[in-house]
Amino acid sequence: MSEKSLHLRLGIFTSLFALFLVLFAIPTFVFAPSNVGNIILSPLFWPYVLAGLTGVIGLGLLASAFKPGANVPFEDEEGTAHPERAAPWLRLAALGVIMVLVMFGLPRLGMVWTAMLAFAACAFLFRTRHPIVALVCAVIVPLLLYAFFAHVAGVAIPQGNFVRLP
């Protein structure tokens, strides 16, 4: 990837995002009392200023994409074609699914059991060369953290609906 393609992509995205903020997000999701006389003191003022600056940066990125010499690829860039082809994308998707399942599991299974499953799933997703150690750590690390946070720090760690820990 070169600076040109990166800045072109970022510039288009940033400019569109600024437009989205100005035309839709700020009028819809920022509320201002009707009796604010001066725009500078309105809750809308700061978001509009930031949205405007975002638009300026977006245009700046677009302009810099066309500067001379911007087409040179980054020196430390990984090759665009990953040697494993689709596997990295599948691992990213799997990690995303693990995170969603963690959010789903925390109130139902409790933090300790969810963390154990997440640890083990991630270790195998990362293709660990030490599966036994990974499984042992998957059990011990969440239990140790539970012991610290629940019994030393006094945090009410979610216990879930099934197995409750002391």
Partner 1 sequence: MSLMDSLAAGLSLVGNVEAFFMLFCGLVIGVIGGAIPGLSATMAVALTLPFTFSMAPINGILLLLGVYKGGIFGGSIPAILIKTPGTPASSATILDGHPMAERGEAGRALGMALYASCTADAVSNLSLILFAGWLASFALNFGPPEFFALILFSLTIIAGVSGESLLRGALSALAGLLLATVGLDLVYGTNRFTFGDPNMMGGLNFIAVLIGLFAIPEIIAMAWNPVAHLGRTRALGKSKCTLADYLGSFKSIIRGSMIGVFLGSIPGIGAAPSAFLSYSEARRTSKNKANFGKGEIEGVAASEAGNNGVAGATLIPLLALGVPGDVITAIIIGAFMVHGLQPGPMMFILNVDIIYGLFIGLIVSSVFLLLVGSVAIRGFKFVADVPKRILMPGVLVLCIYGVYAVNNNIFDVGVMFVMGWVGYIMMRNRIPAAPFLIAFILGPLLEDNFRQSMLMSGSDPLILFRGPITWFFWLLTAITVFAITRSTLRKRVPLS
Question: Binding to partner 1 (CB under 8 A): which residues in 51-90?
Answer: 51, 53-54, 57, 60-61, 64, 67-70, 72, 74, 82, 88
Query: Which of 81, 86, 153, 166 is in the footprint of partner 1 by CB under 8 A?
Result: 153
Helix axes 131-146, 111-125, angle to 10 degrees: 150
Site for partner 1 in 113-142 (CB under 8 A): 114-115, 118-120, 122-123, 125-130, 133-134, 137-138, 141-142
Half-sphere exposure (Cβ direction) of 101: Cα atoms closer than 13 Å: 15
Query: Which of 154, 162, 164, 166 is in the footprint of partner 1 by CB under 8 A?
Result: 154
- What is the closest distance, in whole angstroms, from the C-beta atom of residue 123 to partner 1 in the complex? 5
Residues contacting residue 30 through CB under 8 Å, at least 6 positions apart = 43, 44, 47
- What is the closest distance, in whole angstroms, from the C-beta atom of residue 90 to partner 1 in the complex? 9
Residue 2's SS3 state is: strand
Q: In the block, which residue shows the tokens 């940033």?
A: 14
| Residue 97 interacting with partner 1 (CB under 8 A) | no
| Residue 91 interacting with partner 1 (CB under 8 A) | yes
- What is the closest distance, in whole angstroms, from the C-beta atom of residue 137 to partner 1 in the complex? 6
Q: Give the separation between CA 145 and CA 154, rounded to whole angstroms.
A: 12
| Residue 50 interacting with partner 1 (CB under 8 A) | yes
Q: Give the separation between CA 68 and CA 4, rounded to whole angstroms.
A: 9
Query: Which of 156, 162, 164, 166 is in the footprint of partner 1 by CB under 8 A?
Result: 156
| Residue 30 interacting with partner 1 (CB under 8 A) | yes
| Residue 107 interacting with partner 1 (CB under 8 A) | yes
**Cβ–Cβ under 8 Å, residues 38 and 100:** no
Can you give the length of the chain in residues?
166
